[in-house]
Amino acid sequence: MASYRFQLFLNISFFLILAIGQSSIAAANDDRKASVVFAYIVYMGSAPEGEYLATSRQRTMLQKVIRGSSVEESMIRSYRRSLNGFAAKLTDEEVEELANMKGVVSIIPNQIYHPRTTRSWDFMGFSNTVRRNPTVESNVIIGVIDSGIWPELPSFSDEGFGPPPKKWKGVCRGGKNFTCNNKVIGARFYKSVPSVDESARDNSGHGTHTASTAAGNVVKDVSFFGLAQGTARGGVPSARIAAYKVCHKKGCESVDILAAFDDAIADGVDILSVSLGSAESAEFFDDVIAIGSFHAMEKGILTLNSAGNNGVAGPLGVESVAPWMVAVAASTTDRRLSTKVVLGNGKTLNGFSVNPDTFNGKKLPLLYGREVSSVCSEDDARLCSESCVDRKLVKGKIVLCDSTGSDSVVYSAGAAGSIVLDDVPVSFITPLPSPALNARDYDLLLSYKNSTDNPVAEILRSESIKESYSPVVAQFSSLGPNFIAPDILKPDITAPGAEILAAYSPISSPSGSPVDKRRVKYSILSGTSMACPHVAGIAAYVKTFHPDWSPSAIKSALMTTAWAMDRTKNPDGEISYGSGHVNPVRAIVPGLVYETSKEDYIKLMCSLGYTRDNIKQISGEISACPVKSKNVPARDMNYPSLAASVPAVKSFTVSFRRTVKNVGLPKSIYRVQISPNPKLKVEVVPKVLTFKALKETKTFTVTVSGGGLSAKSMESTTLVWSDGTHIVRSPIVVHTYPSIKSS
């Protein structure tokens, strides 16, 4: 029930959305005056017999949760004819209580429907009309360390922009025929190895995509050949961009990455978006992104980093683990692209791909990969591996392949299309129509093919569908826990990263295949690389309201205001999404923040057994470990989430010490709530935090006990501090996964 903010429902014959307006509604009583209330639909399934009984139960449920207000003041409407439920004005606390009541199917935030946009920002409730300060926003600089940028695109036009902020100390060294402007105020390129690519211009599209997602202008009527049509924009459209190109055809050299950090920090950027990572496990002192971001943190710059795209490999795959960065996982939005396959027997299968083409109603012959090769082994032929597809056999036909990644081979051989096996439900661009089917549907396809002498099929043009199941963590998104510091939960947060439309390099193939000759200015990509700049843009948005906040305060605000994810839809739990789904609007009013300093991070590394030399490799200076710091558990670092590695099977008791700073109301009283988990006993001391002034700090201790956890498993619960206005939420996770130090 935790994903009530996003769930939509489909009744047997009605799709219902209540459109009353998402703007906050002032409370009508003393207890709720300080609270923020919104309109929600409390959906309870099909209508029971007897309208009066339904209404009576709805009113009773509502009366149990609202405080200091009447049912009449809270309830907006009762649904009792075709479905069962009601609409009401509720606080976050009331929503959480209702969500746990028997009979509640889902709780949906009220929405206003508009013409289609690129969806990811609107999906998060972060519309183009949210409260902004454009003057302050234009003083924020986002540094993007990536594959460069294409500055002439509309997303980077400087129309309406004034000169760069006075604090900007960077340069425009983009190379030949590269010109910066008042939007893209700086550009550099790095080449540690000989290359003909001596420019900050983006040849792959990746850097352009991430930069426009973070801070691109508002650009109307964009699409990918008519698909996903709408308005493209970044999180902070008025912000400036500085591009640091470190990636080329062969990859991104670590020496270049560290050089980019070095320049970006000195240039005066405010936020760094780094959608890069290494597939190999590395200690902090061996990871240039961890090192560079540590120095950025010292200078007040928050670094956002993609968590990695190795989710299918299972736990312990997250690549971004340094606690001074924000590790961003990828999740879906409510708009998905679906490509249907119509078989000769009339059956329709739903596949995933980005296919703007059409067969114009014509069905084409089907061939299996093993039937189109006489020179390869059967296994290689079924995969449609390189040199295994005979051009004479496949021309004008549809080829079935047991693996993705074969589309370029099939396209080069002259096939009209391919259908591949892939259980990851994300749509990617391919050079030819090539929908992916899950194992069940792929088996149905093979069964049909084997049942007739003349198997044929038609691949339809992709269509956008409303995905009521979202958000869920994308299957490709790398999983935690943290393999270096298992008592620090990673990833930190999740954001939209599947099928994201944004600006793209007009000289790059949209599918990434050299045989694909199409060229576009806007394209659709998926990955934690796409999620990272979403959070970078939101971090910049928070900074426009709180320019004096430290990187850790901004990070805390992002994490503690995140929407709770539905565990039933995300079975990997917090090791897949961290604190939850980023919530842009609420991140600017977190109420309380958990702050950490450079000294705190050094103490953490001491507790991990890092030597003075190890720490120097990261901080760049000699830092002696404080006396007894090695005896201080890593879990006591003042992190916004709480995690602990415990022994399998055995009983355990672990404690966490945390300090919060009041950034909400000067005089406020926060009371603690713990979500129930029968496998964990949680005690919090004290249970009430009373603040008399802003910036005042309070310390509390959390003790968690339990036992019997199997190896490589986890249990979790949630700690919430609330003053009736702010909800400060932190996950508590205990797990039995090893670190690389213990494995």
Structural domain boundaries in the chain: 38-108, 119-334+471-588, 341-466, 592-596+637-736
Amino acid occupying residue 620 = G
The SS3 assignment for 598 reads helix
Q: Exposed, middle or buried: residue 451 (CB in 10 Å: 0-12, 13-18, 19+)? A: exposed
CA distance 295 to 261: 8
How much of the chain, in percent, has pLDDT values that exceed 90? 65
Structure confidence at residue 613 (pLDDT) = 77
Give me the phi and psi of 187, to 5 degrees please: -155, 140
How far apart CA 438 and CA 512 sit, in angstroms, is 23
The pTM of the whole model exceeds 0.85: no
DSSP assignment string, 295-332: HHHHTT-EEEEE--S-GGG-SS--S---TTEEEEEEE-
CATH of domain 119-334+471-588: 3.40.50.200
Q: What is the pLDDT of residues 30-71, one digit of tens each?
A: 455 556 777 676 767 545 666 567 778 888 888 888 877 788
Architecture of the CATH domain 38-108: 2-Layer Sandwich (3.30)
CA 339 remoteness from chain centre: 24
DSSP state of 360: T
Locate 251 and state its tokens.
């990859």
Over residues 710-723, the pLDDT tens digits come to 999 999 999 999 99
Catalytic residue positions, numbered = 146, 206, 529
Fold of domain 341-466: Glucose Oxidase; domain 1 (3.50.30)
Q: What CATH number has the domain spanning 592-596+637-736?
A: 2.60.40.2310
Mean pLDDT by 10 residues, the chain (743 residues): 26 24 37 62 62 77 83 76 69 88 70 35 71 89 97 97 96 95 96 78 95 96 90 95 91 85 94 88 83 92 95 92 97 92 96 92 94 89 91 94 88 94 89 94 96 96 87 94 95 96 95 90 94 97 97 98 94 97 96 96 91 79 71 89 95 97 97 96 98 98 94 96 97 90 51
Tell me the helices (H) and strands (E) count for the chain, helix number first.
18, 35
Q: Where are the beta strands (DSSP E) in 128-253?
A: 141-146, 172-173, 184-189, 219-224, 227-232, 240-245, 247-248, 251-252
CA atoms within 13 A on the CB side of 543: 26
Q: Which of 181, 179, 174 is nearest to 198 (CA)?
A: 174
CB 713 within 8 A of CB 735: yes
* Residue in 625, 620, 631, 621 with CA at minimum distance from that of residue 602: 625
The reported pLDDT for the residue numbered 628 is 64
Q: What's the pLDDT score for residue 41?
A: 67
Instruction: Give the tokens for residue 552.
Output: 């850790």
Q: Are 322 and 596 in contact (CB under 8 A)?
A: no
* Residue 19 CB-density burial (10 A; 0-12 exposed, 13-18 middle, 19+ buried): exposed
Predicted local confidence at residue 335, as pLDDT: 87
What would the two tokens of residue 121 be? 């920002």
